[in-house]
Amino acid sequence: MEGFWEHVIVVTAARYSVFVLCTLVFLAVFELVTSYKNWEEIKKGNLAVAMATGGKLFGIATIFRYSIEHNDSLLQSVGWGVLGFVLLLMGYLMFEFLTPIMKVDEEIGNGNKAVGFISMIISVGLAFVIGASIG
């Protein structure tokens, strides 16, 4: 049974399952900090929300990609993934704070595609920087 836990398929399935679970939790956290309901807005066709949410999803996946690549154990990967998510969330909140001429969340919720696009690019860019820093 000892070799079972080291088999590449088992390890892949475990990492995949944990990544999906973490992604669901992290998206729920993003849902709590935004003034709009992500999935309701996407269902209505709000492209700005879809881009911002897609950027967050891509960001989370990119952080976990680096976390898995640089850590042998599942627990270490999750730990670095959680830290990376916290940094990504802080980046999102700083974007809102550093743009005092508009309320980013409100603009995205209202369908401003330009703000949704820049939010997506910020999430993607931050994910690459965060991922490159993961140990």
Kindly state the average pLDDT of the residues 37-65: 96
Residue 89 neighbours by CB under 8 Å, 6+ apart? 29, 30, 33
pLDDT tens-place string over residues 53-103: 999 999 999 999 999 888 878 889 999 999 999 999 999 899 988 888 999
For residue 87, give both structure tokens: 């940094």
| pTM as predicted | 0.88
- At 101, which helix (H) or strand (E)? none
